[in-house]
Amino acid sequence: MNSENIYAEPLFLNPVLTHNIWGGTRLRDDYGYQVEGNDIGECWGISAHPNGEGTVRGGAFDGKKLSELWETNPELFGNVGPGGERLLPYDRFPLLTKIIDAKDDLSIQVHPDDEYAAEHENGSFGKTECWYVLDCDENSSLVIGHNAQNKDELEDMINNGRWSDFIRELPVKKGDFLQIDPGTVHAIKGGVLILETQQNSDITYRVYDYDRLQNGKPRQLHVKQSIDVITVPAKSAEDSVRHFADTEVNSVVCMYECKYYKVSKISVQGSMQFCQDNPFLAMSILDGAGKVNGFDVKKGDHLILPNAVKNVELTGDMRIIVSTI
């Protein structure tokens, strides 16, 4: 294989699995990830974050960390100009893709924006994220937003533990999509399996954790930071959930686009082709199996199509979430 071709190979990534007090077994049972335990909460499928760093599986860059490739091979990500200059406004790989299995409720939480995180979290990115509901129990819900109408009411509800007044739950079903902007109070509830696309950040402020104990002690809360960053009033419930279960077959269907990412869904039946001019394309196979430009893929695979790939050919029967910047 000549040197040019290696830059068109998909970068398959070894996912990182995490153990969480609210996690379950679906990431092993449904996706086949080789991990023991009954508390597997997250699969960091595409990640260059030091708390869960992905490495390349196979190919010319086998064993390399994604963060390392970002530094040493910027051409893979469309990040080098004719004079060797960096083209993208990021000092690290900008996205992070997870699959999250919530057997029990996650804590009520909120994320800061870039400005607050840069000042208070050692220069970290803020955390803008979005969720695609892969599966859920009947009558499932997610916490999205809150009921406080102003900052004084927000502080009173939080400081006095008026959680039933404060928390807003919305019903969800398989195929729902939710954009979680910084400042949005949110929580994944038990029985929901999601794919999350987010900025490359691990900054989370816990507002409330149901008084649970971990190793005999309550988990740390971040009440001051939460009050600092929560948006008041919250975005309306009607604007919070969109549905993408039955999207057009053999088409790239954009679910959401903002300054941090563009996230689309692809339902492949048979074969399809599309051209792409993004710096790179991150892909997660939700279910089914097939081929991406001749490379075998199956449910649970996570990969990046490098910048050199301008024509994408998909064959098989599978559902895919793709993201780019």
Judged by DSSP in three states, 137 sits in: coil
What span, in angstroms and rounded, lies between the C-alpha atoms of 297 and 237?
37
Dist CA 6 CA 105 (whole Å): 43
Report yes or no: 25 and 40 within 8 Å, Cβ to Cβ: yes
3-state SS, residue 141: strand
Residue by residue, DSSP assigns 254-282 as EEEE-SS-EEEEEEEEEEEEEE--SS-EE
CA atoms in the 13 A half-sphere facing the CB of 192: 25
Cα(296)–Cα(185) distance, integer angstroms: 39
- Please indicate whether residue 206 is annotated as part of the active site: yes
User: Helical H runs in 1-131?
Assistant: 3-6, 26-29, 66-72, 114-120
Q: Tell me the C-alpha distance between 63 and 56, whole Å.
A: 5
Q: Which helix (H) or strand (E) holds 98?
A: strand 95-102
167 neighbors 210 (Cβ within 8 angstroms): no
Give the separation between CA 191 and CA 312, rounded to whole angstroms: 35
Contact (CB, 8 A) for 306 and 60: no
Within the chain, residue ranges assigned H as helices are 3-6, 26-29, 66-72, 114-120, 151-159, 163-166, 223-229
Element holding 40 (H helix, E strand): strand 40-46
Q: Which two tokens stand for residue 92?
A: 């690290």
The letter for the amino acid at 81 is: G
Catalytic residue among 162, 206, 212, 219: 206
Query: Catalytic amino acids?
Result: 206
